């Protein structure tokens, strides 16, 4: 599984989430689009975290462990603030169904953060 790039998995799983939402709510393109939008945003945030944490992990700096922890905490804070701003924009602009965007964000976050661990634990 880890031979596939993280971005390719994000794109594939986002498309799968949109198809699943379209099957659950047939004829409601706003629901499928909202789930895809939320899942895609969670995937982009996870991809940024994988790249950032991967660079720190592969460095030869003796303080890389402490930097990795600090970067993880900072990225989590930035991700949550980004999620709030993203949801605020979705509601303010009326893009898609806000509840389905939230479902996509929650589901995408759970899946993509588990994948982050897999990608960061694999040998460099």
Q: Which of 114, 118, 113, 112 shows the shortest CA–CA distance to 17?
A: 112
Task: Give the pTM.
Answer: 0.88
- Taking each helix axis from N to C end, the angle separating 29-57 and 98-121, rounded to the nearest 10 degrees, works out to 30
Q: Where are the domains of the chain?
A: 6-121
Q: Which of 80, 10, 81, 16 shows the shortest CA–CA distance to 51?
A: 10
One digit per residue, pLDDT tens: the chain, 124 residues?
457 788 999 999 999 999 999 999 898 888 899 999 999 999 999 999 999 988 888 888 888 788 888 888 999 999 999 999 999 999 999 887 899 999 999 999 999 999 988 888 876 5
């Amino acid at each position: 599984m880890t031979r596939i790039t993280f971005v390719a998995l994000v794109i594939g799983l986002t498309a799968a989430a949109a198809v699943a939402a379209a099957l659950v709510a047939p004829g409601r393109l706003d629901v499928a689009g909202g789930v895809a939008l939320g899942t895609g945003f969670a995937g982009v945030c996870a991809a940024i975290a994988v790249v950032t944490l991967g660079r720190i992990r592969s460095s030869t700096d003796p303080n890389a462990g402490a930097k990795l922890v600090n970067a993880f905490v900072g990225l989590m804070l930035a991700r949550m603030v980004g999620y709030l701003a993203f949801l605020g924009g979705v509601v303010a602009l009326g893009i898609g169904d806000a509840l389905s965007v939230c479902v996509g964000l929650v589901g995408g976050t759970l899946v993509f953060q588990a994948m982050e661990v897999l990608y960061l634990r694999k040998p460099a």
